[in-house]
Chains A and B, each alone.
Chain A
Amino acid sequence: MADLEELREAILNGDARRADSLTREAIAQGVEPLALINQSMVPAMDEAGRRFECEEYFVPELLLAARAMKAALEPLRPLLAATGARAAGKVVIGTVKGDLHDIGKNLVASLLEGGGFEVIDLGADVSPQKFIDAVTNSGANIVALSALLTVTMPSMRNTIEALKQAGLRDRVKVMVGGAPVTQQFADQIGADGYSENAPSAVALARRFAGSAA
């Protein structure tokens, strides 16, 4: 019988090969994809996030766990698509225009994906128009903006303004984060939320998803 706890451990320990093989075994044994996600992957990435917050895990361990999670998720994707299973929410994420730093954004994207969200990662140096296009095409309900530099923080404001101009602002919740970003700044630019680290970003997205129509 598939051992969901073992899969959770494999992800948590960053063992991508083991995570992949355990997932395939579980699928072969008829375990429901959503059970694998909800009982192994989500708890594994939640625990990885918790350890990161407690400074038991650092960036390498978190990226390793994310890689294992993605390896486990890969064989599930076609099954999830076939069953029409819905994600916890759909997030468009990117580092804003002019900023090429992406490690913080990558950590948030991985934890969101591990948390059951569908994540459309636009990468770094993303223009407001690309965010608009991605929201329009995907129907995402959350937009997550990252910036590491104080000089690129105005791009967050520009992106939010562009979403307004495009008539999309009311369809999405906008969350912002990054080393120089503060709650005060988030309020000033009209963001819906701010989080100071990756695990809190997941908690925030869950609140948004829960409050969505």
Chain B
Amino acid sequence: MTGKERVQAMVNGAAVDRLPLMPITMMFAADCAGVRYRDYVTRHDVLVEAQLAVAERFGFDYVSVISDPAREAADLGAVVEWFDDQPPAIVESRALLTEKAAFQSLRFPDFSAGRVRDRIEGVRLLARHTGAERMVEGWVEGPCAMAADLRGLNTLMLDLYDDEGFVRELFEFVVAMEVEFARVQVAAGATLIGIGDAAASLIGPKFYAALVQPLETKLVAAIREMGVMTRLHICGNTRKILTGMGATGADIVDLDFLSPLKEGRAAMGPRQVLLGNMDPVRALRDGTPESVTAVLERCWDEAGPRWIVGAGCEVTRGTPLENVEAMAAFARSRHG
């Protein structure tokens, strides 16, 4: 099986020759390729070369354009601070929507320019190089994460109580925008769209059910209508929202190390494909090949057969190559 066939089979409930392997790599990939992270996030050719190299080296079943949360926000006009060798960060103290009134004039970014276009071109190049063999993952922000990027995370948390109507409108805008961003990535060759919504792990089950989950569901449905798969990635502690995450309809649901796979399985049922949830720092970076293998055995045992090998979040910079190799070897040697 190719990596693409393997992931598709896993999602479709068919037999796989071995467990699929889809860890998120960003700075790890850049470091393996010997490139500055600033180049990785600003030049799609650099990102593509690094993704292809890391996928080839470890036998990953996919490549991805995920790089940082500031693609859409930067093009919308948010103030971004740049670093030489780490991800750019949105400056919350000067958030784009510090004044709510600014929301009225907010428009979708121009997808033919800027940082969003760089991502689209990355998808196109990855699809050209490896689309026949591997899943090519495009990436969009989820409603809560993107709203936090625009409004400021601290402020958004209070908005949930102070002005729920505003939050709802902002989420609706974000999802409409991300549907279009996903559409152009699919047109460029993405076969999977990842949705990152980390901020959703902070808000608790009440707001998740009322405000976020319905919008994530809408986003997932719109992307699936484009004929590609979806992956929901909410890192952090999601134990209280697991059922809702499963109900979004995402083909793959990532779980971080704070959210036990057995709880995810119990909440989402036997058919949901889960991915994770090894602790990327304590277990993967700071572990040994032997301990990595032992943790993955536990993960597999908890998750059951509908499971993809990966860490709970990004494989961090400084992770020993032999530990990632142990993860890859585990996936290669286990049949689904």
CA–CA, A58 and B154, complex, Å = 13
Closest to A14 in B: B161
CA–CA, A64 and B202, complex, Å = 14
CA–CA, A60 and B212, complex, Å = 14
CA–CA, A179 and B280, complex, Å = 11
Task: For A57, list chain B residues within 8 Å (CB).
Answer: 204
Task: For A124, list chain B residues within 8 Å (CB).
Answer: 92-93
Confirm or deny: A152 has a beta carbon within 8 angstroms of a beta carbon on chain B.
yes
Confirm or deny: B27 has a beta carbon within 8 angstroms of a beta carbon on chain A.
yes
CA–CA, A103 and B85, complex, Å = 23
Chain B residues within 8 Å of chain A by Cβ, number = 32
CA–CA, A102 and B89, complex, Å = 12
Contact B92 A100 (CB under 8 A): yes
Confirm or deny: A81 has a beta carbon within 8 angstroms of a beta carbon on chain B.
no
Confirm or deny: A150 has a beta carbon within 8 angstroms of a beta carbon on chain B.
yes
Nearest-Cβ distance from residue A200 to partner chain B, whole angstroms: 15
Contact A151 B157 (CB under 8 A): no
Nearest-Cβ distance from residue A176 to partner chain B, whole angstroms: 14
Closest to B153 in A: A103
Confirm or deny: A67 has a beta carbon within 8 angstroms of a beta carbon on chain B.
yes
Interface residue from A60, A123, A125, A149 paired with B204 (Cβ < 8 Å): A60
Task: For A61, list chain B residues within 8 Å (CB).
Answer: 204
CA–CA, A99 and B89, complex, Å = 8
Closest to A184 in B: B286
Task: For A2, list chain B residues within 8 Å (CB).
Answer: none
Task: For A150, list chain B residues within 8 Å (CB).
Answer: 281, 285, 316-318
Contact B281 A182 (CB under 8 A): yes
Given A63-B157, A103-B153, A150-B316, also A98-B204 (CB < 8 A): no
CA–CA, A60 and B154, complex, Å = 8
Task: For B239, list chain A residues within 8 Å (CB).
Answer: 55
Confirm or deny: B282 has a beta carbon within 8 angstroms of a beta carbon on chain A.
yes
Given A60-B160, A182-B281, also A102-B92 (CB < 8 A): yes
Given A61-B204, A151-B86, also A102-B158 (CB < 8 A): no
Confirm or deny: B240 has a beta carbon within 8 angstroms of a beta carbon on chain A.
yes
Contact B154 A63 (CB under 8 A): yes
CA–CA, A185 and B93, complex, Å = 29
Task: For A102, list chain B residues within 8 Å (CB).
Answer: 92, 154
Contact B203 A60 (CB under 8 A): yes
Q: Taking chain A's interface residues, is the majority helix, strand, or loop, or is none over half, making it mixed? A: loop
Confirm or deny: B110 has a beta carbon within 8 angstroms of a beta carbon on chain A.
no
Closest to B88 in A: A100
Nearest-Cβ distance from residue A159 to partner chain B, whole angstroms: 17
Confirm or deny: A180 has a beta carbon within 8 angstroms of a beta carbon on chain B.
yes
List A37-95 residues whose CB lies under 8 Å from chain B: 55, 57-61, 63-64, 67
Contact A55 B240 (CB under 8 A): yes
Closest to A180 in B: B281
Q: B79-116 toward A: CB 8 Å interface, digit per residue (1/0)?
A: 00101011101111100000000000000000000000
Contact B316 A59 (CB under 8 A): no
Task: For A180, list chain B residues within 8 Å (CB).
Answer: 281, 316
Contact B27 A182 (CB under 8 A): no
Closest to A152 in B: B86
Closest to B90 in A: A100
Interface residue from A60, A98, A149 paired with B161 (Cβ < 8 Å): A60
CA–CA, A175 and B17, complex, Å = 48
Task: For B286, list chain A residues within 8 Å (CB).
Answer: 182, 184
CA–CA, A123 and B91, complex, Å = 12
Contact B92 A59 (CB under 8 A): no
Given A98-B83, A150-B316, A152-B86, also A59-B281 (CB < 8 A): no
Task: For B236, list chain A residues within 8 Å (CB).
Answer: 179
Confirm or deny: B207 has a beta carbon within 8 angstroms of a beta carbon on chain A.
yes
Q: B157-198 toward A: CB 8 Å interface, digit per residue (1/0)?
A: 110110000000000000000000000000000000000000
Closest to A58 in B: B204
CA–CA, A210 and B243, complex, Å = 44
Nearest-Cβ distance from residue B198 to partner chain A, whole angstroms: 10
Contact A60 B316 (CB under 8 A): no
CA–CA, A92 and B236, complex, Å = 27
Q: Can you list 10 A-B contacts (CB < 8 A)?
A: A55-B240, A58-B204, A60-B203, A63-B157, A98-B83, A100-B89, A100-B90, A106-B154, A149-B87, A180-B316
Residues of B participating in the A interface, judged by any CB pair closer than 8 Å:
27, 81, 83, 85-87, 89-93, 153-154, 157-158, 160-161, 202-204, 207, 236-237, 239-240, 281-282, 285-286, 316-318
